[in-house]
Chains A and B, each alone.
Chain A
Amino acid sequence: MANLKTTEKKTKAQSMGLHTEVLTGKTQQKFFNPDEAENFYYWGTYDVDFNKRIDLDVNDLDCKEANKKIDELMSQGYGTIVIKNPQGKHSLGVGILNKLNLIFEGSLGYFGVGSIDGPTVRINGRVGWSCAENMMAGKVVIEKNAGSCFGAAVRGGDLICKGSVGARTGIDQKGGTIIVGGDAGAFTGFMMQRGRIIILGNVGINLGDSMYDGTIYVGGKIGSFGSDAIESPMTKSDIDWIKRKLKVAEIGENFDVSKMTKVVAGKKLWNYDALEPTEKKGAI
């Protein structure tokens, strides 16, 4: 931590008469120094061993206790954690910021595995509203259905539901890929900003309403297009990319990808930069 003490020399602001106070103490500003180990530490993460496996029964735990227990197990180096009896509890497996194999033997309630950055999650059940909301990276696979606001505001990673999902899937999506094996409800891709959504089944009304950017691919019927959403021709690279993604997601093996409908934003917002953050880095 840099330690800034006020020097005898007047700052420009002082010489202009803007203030006369003598500033003392530490600055909040941190300067990056590759020699300091703490600069390479991602707070709240653990080095785990995938071969170290443990079962955790959360039947008698509330969500806070269960999440604390998961954190404890990760701190002990467990890299594969199997959660038994989640019983539709809310907010299980949230805020995990390191690599981890997390398996739920049952269904989750609201905000399951929200705000994660890195783990690979398999849920052998259903999930409630806002599953994987704000996910930064990782992979989440749901074997059954999902509720509304599936993948709200995800920024990266793959979010896969093998069943059907509710309304507002991918609302405010900012990156990553959402894949749905069944149908999706109304307002899918609502206010979507970046990323991609693949729906193999039908979608409800107002698809892609008020979307800024990003792409939605639909395999079945579309209830109606939302404001700002328009159809765009499928390209070879679209087809190749979807095939690759479906293979990784292990769904839609014989699905005819070429007949899917591609939906994109129909208007460009003023001063809106369509580049993905990663693409931006490349450009620099």
Chain B
Amino acid sequence: MCGIAGLIHRGKSSDVGNELQAMLQALKHRGPDSTGYALYADNDGQNFIMRFKVGENVGEGSSSINEDESVYDKRKELVDDMLKNLGAKVLKEEKLTPYSYRYEMKYDDDLMDFSKKIESIESVEILSIGKSLELIKDLGDAQAVLDRYDLGKVTGTHAIGHARMATESGVDIKSAHPFWGYPFSDVSVVHNGQLTNYWNNRRVLENKGMRFMSECDSELIAVYLAEKMRNGATLEEGMKDSLSGLDGVFTYFVATKDSLGMAKDTMAAKPLVLYESDDLVAMGSEEIAIRSILPHEIDTYDPFDGEVKVWQI
């Protein structure tokens, strides 16, 4: 059981950091292990934002192996060297925790090749690359992660998030949601459910050159959609295809720079409540998530089995 939440403001920007925090905090009982945010922030859209980690959070019930913090600095230096070699120009650098960084940079070449080279450094994982996507995930509840990464000040148009109860893989950041739609900029995915044909799909996708960072079944959705889009499918086409391509029970959200989508499996086994108006769409695993940002009486509904919806900002 995990909790997922998402919202999209159509035609305006809002306080999405705090809004998503309220929604995810309301779903804490569904997933106390880790919390993740994919915020589509009001950045200038000129430069890439790369968020990456050079190690794991080893506290707060983590299943990761404890490492000396000095190795984090060494890995970070290796990343800096690699960025220079790749011709990326770092404009701004922020150290958020001992193990995670946010870089603002200029880069004009192929992102797949770029990502492969950066991630060839031991224990380095790119959490996201995008011009508006700010993907943050860590152990702890929504409030703890918001405070740790100072997300309360982030404004933007849309966001998706996840409160995780680890069932298929470890309690660590690499298995936490959201997952970045590698190697596409600004694509992120959150999922509630279990996928039963993970290994079959993973083998096929890895043979096609796609990369998996964790053994979390949910990562498959991000990679599956990225592969479809790489071959020319639109986001909605990829999502519709996933209803038959992915086996198991799932409700997932996917977000891009200017859109937000949801898909529900053909068994409708996982919950989702949806509120839709002209200027706002809010959805979550439970109604209380939506009520946390819309306390007045509203009309909500459960999407049916096999339903796919995509909204634009």
Contact B297–A110 (Cβ < 8 Å): no
Contact B299–A205 (Cβ < 8 Å): no
Q: Is the interface of B mostly helix, strand, loop or mixed?
A: loop
Is A106 interfacial (CB-CB < 8 Å)? Answer: yes
User: Which chain A residue shows the least CB distance to B284?
Assistant: A88
How many residues on chain B are close to A (CB under 8 Å)?
20
Question: What string of 1s and 0s marks CB contacts (under 8 Å) between B281-294 and chain A?
Answer: 00000111011000
Is B295 interfacial (CB-CB < 8 Å)? Answer: yes
A144 to B268, CA, bound (A): 20
Known A87-B295, A125-B297, A147-B273: A186·B287 in contact at CB below 8 Å: no
Known A129-B271, A148-B268: A185·B305 in contact at CB below 8 Å: yes
Is B301 interfacial (CB-CB < 8 Å)? Answer: yes
A107 to B302, CA, bound (A): 13
* Chain A hits for B304, CB < 8 A: 166-167, 183, 185-186, 204
Contact B268–A87 (Cβ < 8 Å): no
Contact A109–B286 (Cβ < 8 Å): yes
Contact B287–A107 (Cβ < 8 Å): yes
- The B42-101 residues at the A interface (CB cut-off 8 A) are none
Question: What string of 1s and 0s marks CB contacts (under 8 Å) between A238-259 and chain B?
Answer: 0000000000000000000000
Contact B302–A88 (Cβ < 8 Å): no
Contact B302–A87 (Cβ < 8 Å): no
Is B300 interfacial (CB-CB < 8 Å)? Answer: yes
Is B233 interfacial (CB-CB < 8 Å)? Answer: no
Known A110-B286, A147-B273, A185-B305: A166·B299 in contact at CB below 8 Å: no
Contact B301–A164 (Cβ < 8 Å): yes
Contact B305–A88 (Cβ < 8 Å): no
Contact B305–A167 (Cβ < 8 Å): yes
Is A145 interfacial (CB-CB < 8 Å)? Answer: yes
- The B256-313 residues at the A interface (CB cut-off 8 A) are 266-269, 271, 273, 286-288, 290-291, 295, 297, 299-302, 304-306
How many residues on chain A are close to B (CB under 8 Å)?
30
* Chain A hits for B266, CB < 8 A: 186, 205
* Chain A hits for B286, CB < 8 A: 88, 90, 109-110, 128
Known A125-B297, A205-B266: A109·B288 in contact at CB below 8 Å: yes
Contact A185–B302 (Cβ < 8 Å): yes
* Chain B hits for A144, CB < 8 A: 299-300
Question: What string of 1s and 0s marks CB contacts (under 8 Å) between A186-200 and chain B?
Answer: 110000000000000
Contact A204–B302 (Cβ < 8 Å): no
Interface centre among A110, A129, A146, A185 (most CB of B within 10 A): A185
Is A162 interfacial (CB-CB < 8 Å)? Answer: no
Chain B: minimal CB distance from A228 (Å)? 18
Contact B267–A126 (Cβ < 8 Å): no
User: Which chain B residue shows the least CB distance to A150?
Assistant: B302
Chain B: minimal CB distance from A175 (Å)? 25
Is A220 interfacial (CB-CB < 8 Å)? Answer: no
Contact A145–B288 (Cβ < 8 Å): no
* Chain A hits for B273, CB < 8 A: 128, 147
Is A163 interfacial (CB-CB < 8 Å)? Answer: yes
A6 to B41, CA, bound (A): 80
Contact A89–B300 (Cβ < 8 Å): no
Chain A: minimal CB distance from B235 (Å)? 24
* Chain B hits for A89, CB < 8 A: 288
A106 to B300, CA, bound (A): 11
Q: Which residues of chain B have a CB within 8 Å of any CB of chain A?
A: 266-269, 271, 273, 286-288, 290-291, 295, 297, 299-302, 304-306
Q: Which residues of chain A have a CB within 8 Å of any CB of chain B?
A: 87-90, 106-110, 125-126, 128-129, 144-148, 163-168, 183, 185-187, 204-205
> Could you name 28 residue pairs across A and B whose Cβ atoms are closer than 8 Å?
A87-B288, A87-B291, A87-B295, A88-B286, A88-B290, A88-B291, A106-B297, A107-B291, A107-B297, A108-B287, A126-B287, A128-B273, A128-B287, A145-B302, A148-B302, A163-B301, A164-B301, A166-B302, A167-B302, A167-B304, A167-B305, A185-B268, A185-B305, A186-B267, A186-B304, A187-B267, A204-B305, A205-B305
- Minimum-distance CB pairs A-B, first 7: A88-B287, A167-B268, A166-B302, A186-B305, A145-B301, A88-B291, A88-B288
